[in-house]
Amino acid sequence: MASKVGPDLIEKHVKSSRLLYNAYTVFAKDREVQELWKMSNVNAVSRLLYNDHGPIHAKIVAGSALEIFDILVGRGVEPTTLVDKTVGSIEEAKLVVMIGALLHDIGNSIHRLYHEFTGALISIDILNRLLPEILGKSHPYLYTIRQEILHAIYATSMDAEALTLEAGAVKIGDGTDMAEGRARYPYKKGKSDIHALSALSIKKVYIEQGDRRPVKISVLMDDRAGFFQVEKILLPKVKTTRINHFIEINAIVQRDDKEETVKILA
């Protein structure tokens, strides 16, 4: 069954795991995290007229990333962190995915330029403060989990290769948040460039098990302008992960009772 990309998707995953639920509650209610999400949108949306980079985007990415992770694991792909023994369980691997997604854009609170790098740096203190609360101060993987989360944050950069399945899920999850809601703020402020217009043409994004590859991402649009988002945002993110060969993309134009589908393999 296909899952629609949106802010509610994360609820599906946190409800099924006590660890994820506790962690999500701690991070979502933390004042510093909330203020950094807010400042990220002050810089990205208010000052630069970019798309949403605040709390809604963070939650959407977390839900999408966990969905991708679960499908891959369900199809027999082993999490990199488990292989390398930097986490102790599947649940802890999912914790890396979720927190990495929730914090991946907080570097925008400083500046858009190099925000993945600065985001990883300013996340260190947050993780040092909150991870012991979630996992316990004596948890054997406390610091390796922290480093895996920092890698996932940094690797969302277009210029950085995501070296783990977990970081790859976060990076691709970031690319799936492309439906019209992301463009609404800058569009209302008068921005009408190709980024805003192409995002407005994308109506829905779905994630499900694929036909040819484990994960299928379907992007539904009402205008071919939406292909810009797929080609310039989603596809480059997929290509700079080590799970690209597990992902297939369907770009679907639905217009005037006609449907055109372009199948893309990274």
What is the per-residue pLDDT across 87-100, written as a single tens digit (0 to 9) for each?
999 999 999 999 99
DSSP 135-165: H-TT-TTHHHHHHHHHHHHHTTSTTS-B-SH
What is the pLDDT of the chain when averaged over all its residues? 94
**Domain coordinates of the chain in residue numbers?**
3-192
Residues paired with residue 215 on neighbouring β-strands, in sequence order: 209, 247
Residue 182's pLDDT band, with cuts at 50, 70 and 90, is: low
Contact 62, 98 (CB under 8 A): yes
Predicted local distance difference test score (pLDDT) of residue 183: 54
DSSP H or E stretch at residue 182: none
Give the lowest-confidence range in 89-93, 130-134, 183-187, 221-225.
Answer: 183-187
Q: Which pLDDT does position 185 carry in this prediction?
A: 55
The pLDDT score that the predictor gives to residue 49 is 86
CA distance 36 to 114: 16
Token pair for 200: 């407005």
Q: What is residue 50's predicted lDDT score, i.e. its pLDDT? A: 85
Quick one: pLDDT band at residue 188, thresholds 50, 70, 90?
Answer: low
pLDDT of residue 265: 85
**pLDDT, tens digit, 9 for 90 and up, residues 248-257:** 999 999 988 8
Helix (H, G, I), strand (E, B) or coil at 215: strand
pLDDT digits (tens, 9 = 90+) for 119-135: 999 999 999 999 999 99
pLDDT band at 181 (very low <50, low <70, confident <90, very high): low
Chain-centre distance for alpha carbon 95: 13
Q: Which residue has the higher pLDDT, 182 or 19?
A: 19
Name the strand (E) or helix (H) holding 116: helix 115-135
Please say if the pLDDT value at position 66 is more than 90. yes
Residue, of 225 and 242, whose pLDDT is higher: 242
